[in-house]
Structure 1
Amino acid sequence: MYKSLLSLAAVLSVALSVSTASAQGLWSYSVKFVCGAAQTDPREIPIVEPGFYATEINIHNYRPEGVEIGKQVIILVQDNEAVGREPNVVGVSGQDGIALPPNTATMDDCLRIREIAGVDTSNLTIGYLVLQSSQEINVDAVYTTTGGNAGQFPPSIEVERIEGNQL
């Protein structure tokens, strides 16, 4: 209970700091994530190819001052089912925040997305981690995949710099 209250207080504190920063300008980063095992019915068109997917998101505060970062998770595919396929739309599934001291970094991955949104990311889960920051930061996404059926495809990795938008 005490830990839950501390977490809630931290989220509210970061949310208040980020909303206060909006008067000065807010930066938003929409990071696509793909997590879990994609299994398909051979009679259906798959959302993605069969395999295991993981995303790791790096957040770096390169500035000489601290930065407040709010986080929101939006789930488009959950448990191998498209919940956000047009005409359907989805909203925020969970939120969190962090205060990053000067010249520090942190990361979010499929496990952290599971914690924030309360979803099982071991099954195919696709969506966005939306970061809103009081200052410009560096955000990189690392996408890995293995497999296909019976390991027919070699593992792959891709790193992408996510550009922010000033709101």
Structure 2
Amino acid sequence: MDDPNADISVLTRLELYFSIRQFTRTTRRFAEIFAYDYEMVMIFFVVVEACFQAILNLGGASSDRDSIEQIYLESASIGVSLFGISDASGIPRETVRRKVKALTDLGYVAVSEKTKNIYIPISAFFDLNIFDAFRLYVADIDQFVRTLQFYAKDDR
């Protein structure tokens, strides 16, 4: 490709396509787990985002599961409040409260005794349905990276 703008155009289209496809597929996969309750899916995603952020901050922790779990549970930054979930998702607080109760009953979220924040228990990350949905999410990202690499090779 001789036109440098064409590279950006192709990458932008690919990025838009893959991000929409990723969102649609991931939402559908998690909706299957939560009986197609899309408010529960959104709430779960908001909590997962907050917990992944906490996990990234624990990057220097020991890599064995017990150490990670202990540090994760002791982290003051883990989870998000009901208000934070409502603010991030646009779902009314009372609805968030009811849906969090349902997610807690299912074992997909928990409430910190210390901070009262909602977080994802380590056991939920290893639930086969959740694990498989995240595995497929990573596979979709891998396909996107391989596609980008293919187009990068064409430019050489």
How high is the TM-score relative to the length of structure 1?
Answer: 0.22
Q: In terms of Rg, which structure is larger?
A: 2
- Higher share of residues assigned strand: 1
Higher helix share: 2
Kindly indicate whether structure 1 or structure 2 has the higher relative contact order, using CA contacts under 8 Å at least 6 residues apart: 1
**TM-score scaled by length of structure 2:** 0.23
